[in-house]
Chains A and B, each alone.
Chain A
Amino acid sequence: METVPILKIGLTLFVSIQIDLQDESVIQLQEDLANELAVTGARGVLIDITGVEIVDSFIGRMLSTIGSISRLFDAETVIVGMRPAVAITLTELGLSLSGVRTALNAEKGLKILNGKSRPDG
């Protein structure tokens, strides 16, 4: 099974999914992120899915779950870089990715997270 690396930069955890996701890899990512959030106190999670060719109901549910888990650690999750074909398919499938925010690209996603993680904010 391939795993997805997590990078910490400042108060944000960065994840860029570059592999063809199998269910076990997504479950592992969820666990790894929970551990990282607990250890680092990060305030945001940015997940780049530019390289993801499909999001089916399982992967979609796991992305929502990651959002819910992050919230328990007072962190926000933003998913960026969704391909147009993936967005159309997800909608037709009936998935709304509740619990996570989405942004067009990493730059915009980071702006959302930075707005939140300012110490005085």
Chain B
Amino acid sequence: MDELPIRSGDDVVRVRQQVRTTAAENGLSLVDQTKLVTAASELARNTLVHGGGGTARVEVVKSANGRKGVKLHFTDEGPGIADIGLALTDGWTTGTGLGLGLSGARRLVDEFDLSSEPGSGTRVMVVKWSR
């Protein structure tokens, strides 16, 4: 599916809209759509603010037992995260927020995978399954 650039606040809004449309078309409930779009908003902002911009990819996936889901990938070439465990702690912040961005996004989705190394950017993958 389409790769969306994340270079500005407008792009973050476009990513949210794309996620909303895909989630609605693939059977996610209104609450699950809202959770996924909110998580996408947190992650897209991280890509923009901490990663210096990057891309988002929205994908429809199917589980082994036939459930549909929406998978999102966020990729940046920014400075990366030195301590992922710390970054995923509630309240841990670089100073610009409440520190709920990453940890909150993780709570809102069904699957969450973050890989990052200092100097080599950050990749986040999340999935929300239809019920």
Can you show 21 pairs from A to B with CB atoms below 8 A apart? Answer: A23-B9, A23-B45, A25-B9, A53-B34, A54-B41, A56-B38, A56-B45, A57-B100, A61-B98, A83-B34, A85-B30, A85-B31, A85-B33, A85-B35, A86-B34, A88-B31, A92-B108, A93-B107, A94-B104, A94-B107, A95-B98
**A60-85 CB contact bits vs B (8 Å, 1 = yes)?**
11000000000000000000000111
Are the CB atoms of B97 and A23 closer together than 8 Å? no
Residues in B neighbouring A22, C-beta threshold 8 A = 9-10, 12-13
Can you list, as one digit per residue, whether each of B21-34 has a CB less than 8 Å from chain A (1) or not (0)?
Answer: 00000000011011
* Shortest Cβ distance from residue A22 to the other chain B in the assembled complex, whole angstroms: 4
Please give me the residue from chain B that is nearest to A88 by CB atom: B31
A92 vs B104: C-alpha distance in the bound complex, in angstroms? 7
- For A1, A53, A93, the residue with the greatest tally of chain B CB atoms inside 10 Å of its CB is A93
A sample of 20 more A-B contacts (CB under 8 A), given A56-B42, A94-B103, is A20-B16, A22-B10, A54-B16, A54-B37, A54-B38, A55-B38, A56-B104, A57-B97, A57-B98, A57-B104, A83-B34, A84-B31, A85-B31, A89-B34, A89-B35, A89-B38, A92-B35, A92-B104, A93-B104, A93-B108
**Contact between B90 and A94, CB atoms less than 8 A apart:** yes
Q: Which residues of A contact B (CB under 8 A)?
A: 1, 20-25, 53-58, 60-61, 83-86, 88-89, 92-95
A53 contacts B37, C-beta separation under 8 Å: yes
Q: How many Å from the CB of A53 to the closest CB on chain B?
A: 7
Interface set, chain B 3-18, CB cutoff 8 A to A: 9-10, 12-13, 16-17
A89 CA to B28 CA, complexed, in Å: 14
Cα of A25 to Cα of B41 in the assembled complex, Å: 15
Residues of B within 8 A of A56 (CB): 38, 41-42, 45, 104
